[in-house]
Chains A and B, each alone.
Chain A
Amino acid sequence: MRKTAADPKGVLEGSHFLDGDHAIAEGALAAGCRFFAGYPITPSTETAERFAERCPGVGGMFIQMEDEIASIAALVGGAWGGQKVMTVTSGPGLSLMMENLGLAVMTETPMVIADVQRAGPSTGLPTLPAQQDMMQIRWGSHGDYRIIALCPDSPQECFDLTVEAFNLSETYRVPVFIMTDETVGHMHEKVVIPPAEDIEVVERNYYEGPKADYRPYKFTGKDVAPMVKAGDGYRFHLTGLTHDERGYPHLTVEQNEKVVTHLIEKIDSNADKIIQLDESEMDGAEVVVVSYGITSRIVSRAVQLAREEGIKTGSMRLITIWPFAEKRIEELAGKVKAIVVPEINYGQMVREVERSAAGRCKVVSVPHCGGAVHDPEVILDAIKEASK
């Protein structure tokens, strides 16, 4: 992977007062994204609007597509056209993207998709927050696959993690999700955008070698083949069908196994490198609260209250959602009495925690319906109950 400093053209250096949606657009531009295809949907639209406004000045291209199916499809074409690409959406639009998410996964096409979550099912509560799509991005497209997902809890992190998302998507040739929500998306806070030379950007790894030897894929389960772009004479072929290293259809069970295990292993075998966690006061903790995104901000209050009451409470914030931090949870589960998992859904990531803890400690779900965040007292009560 070639790491360089960001192209200063896309970097709006300085201290700004931005909401999370706008910060995502700035993160994309800083990361070198120059192609955005999207379709308006609350509460994500502001990202598209900002990109549309900013792109003519930085040599980028924005297009409002006819729907979200077209938006993600355009990213596949855009990426192989030679650009870093992104789209943004929310629940209903995310559902429409599922088929072509599979195409992107199968063709190992780098792209970033921000999901500013709102409450479902269906049209649900369009203007209110939720964390209900955590499993959909992981399992929503048919077949076995892996993606990467990051979860910011502030506008600053919306910027930082969007840059990181592009870097990961180039490194692993995989779609990377930014899983934010209406509250973080619409919350205004200070966002510091560093000078371009301090922003590390992973450039696309382009193949350089004899044209006839180019192979768009290698199925090592560790790393990915370099890419090429349209027009450079490599005559690449991509298909959603099970394919060989040249990208040609190869419809056998054996080949499918090769491809699919690669798609899984290239992420799983690098999980330690990918996963970022934000932990506090874990040493000697009796209870650990595992949370992510907007819920982490409520958790910090609840944890403070619990500590004031004398309960040794640790906190783990999942910055990386997928791949899931299963090793770390497993390790913790052997040391603590209980893990408490509040989230704005009826129990999604808690299942991963339960799976990883494998009965070694209590795992307590603190569900909340979509549309609002938890009351810190509810989380505090759960911590107290769990510590008994």
Chain B
Amino acid sequence: MSIEVNIDKFRADSPMTDFLRMERMPHIWCPGCGIGTVVNSFAEAVKKSGMDMDKLAVISGIGCTGRVAGYVNFDSIHTTHGRAIPVATGLKLANPDMKVVVVSGDGDLTGIGGNHFIHAARRNMDIMVICVNNFTYGMTGGQLTPTTPQTANASTTPYGNYEYPFSLPFLADACGATYVARWTSLHARNITKSIREALNHKGFSFIEVIAPCTTLYQRRNRLGDGLDALEYYKEEAGVEKDVDTREVGIDFQGDIAMGRFVKQDKPTYEEAVNERYANVLGDDYQLYGMSKPEREEKAKREAEDRAKMQALMDDEEAQMMAEDMGVDEEGL
């Protein structure tokens, strides 16, 4: 039996056409996998933001989530395992007009790449990091990651996990991230909004999305399919306002605290570099060949753009409220 698909029609009709490399479809992800939701929300957020898509770069590491860079229609680099953040750092510093977004998995970002994660957060490097946390190494067959909850079964902890897991919002917050949020793949609208906010945020922003790996984590732990995962999120995930990130750890199938936990203004790495050099070197200093008045003009322009974007988001939110489109009480 074969299924007839009019791929050209699909491409022409899809609202995602501008955002995805349609010529690379179909993608490799399993049915019910949570990664797709994040990609959709990301595309939606970029679309709504109205930003210049040429000025956005997506960098991924290795893993199922690491494949995101290959499917999105932006300047993109699929790097080595764990190294998306330093590649993103290099690209951002070499070309500061770019908005640089890292999309990768929990193992990639916080296991093998953990050192880069904490240092990029510490520097308040102006990049966004989206972590699809499925509590497992999906691509290699369901092994333990630094986020696997205790007692959960992984292929390398066949008797259940005995290690203490990372709580990623706490880690990011403690390291100096200036925007930290967590959602689940059930909360697509919140993810979209959060990504939009983070696109408009200056500094290191971190968004964790709890998402099912249906093929491995769900199955190995006898948790059912993708729908069962969404059912779990519906039952156990709730928005926490003004919560201390120390309190948001996730136990096996336990509560999931969601929300925007941190949003704070702090000079970015580039701004700190600028300020220090300019203080010491005065007018001799020209980062990327820009004089001080030019730098100030640029900063002013960017701040205005951000304010405009924020106003736009506020308006849209007010309108949605007015139309009672069921904005989740959790709105950001």
Residues of A within 8 A of B (CB): 34-35, 37, 56-57, 59, 61, 63, 65-67, 69-71, 73-83, 85, 99-100, 102-103, 107, 229-241, 248-249
Contacts and interface: CB of A to CB of B under 8 A. Distances in A.
Contacts of A78: 90-91, 93-94
7 contacts: A56-B287, A59-B289, A73-B116, A77-B86, A236-B76, A237-B78, A240-B78
B115 A70 contact: yes
Interface stretch (B67-75, B191-199, B307-315): B67-75
Nearest to A238: B77
**Interface size of B as a range:** 35 or more
Contacts of A76: 77, 79, 87, 90
Contacts of B73: 235
Counting chain A CB atoms within 10 Å of each CB, the highest count among B85, B88, B94, B288 belongs to B94
Contacts of B119: 65-66, 70
Contacts of A69: 83, 86
B70 A61 contact: no
Interface stretch (B54-62, B162-170, B297-305): B54-62
Main SS class of interface, B: helix
B42 to A, nearest CB: 15
Interface in B257-315: 273, 277, 281, 284-290
A165 B285 CA distance: 28
B263 to A, nearest CB: 25
A56 B285 contact: yes
A241 B60 CA distance: 13
Contact of A249 (B57, B70, B83, B98): B70
B22 to A, nearest CB: 12
Contacts of A74: 86-87, 89-90, 93
Contacts of B277: 56
B83 A70 contact: yes
A114 B57 CA distance: 29
Contact of B115 (A59, A66, A79, A249): A66
Contact of B54 (A85, A233, A238): A233
Interface in B26-75: 54-55, 57, 59, 69-70, 73-75
A229 B94 CA distance: 10
Nearest to A58: B286
B93 A99 contact: no
A331 B56 CA distance: 54
Given A75-B90, A236-B75, A237-B76, A70 B116 contact: yes
Nearest to B115: A66
B94 A63 contact: no
A48 to B, nearest CB: 15
Given A73-B86, A237-B78, 18 more contacts: A56-B285, A61-B93, A61-B273, A66-B86, A73-B90, A73-B116, A76-B77, A81-B91, A100-B80, A102-B80, A107-B77, A231-B54, A233-B54, A235-B54, A235-B74, A237-B76, A239-B69, A248-B70
B56 to A, nearest CB: 9
Contacts of B222: none
A231 B97 contact: yes
A238 B76 contact: yes
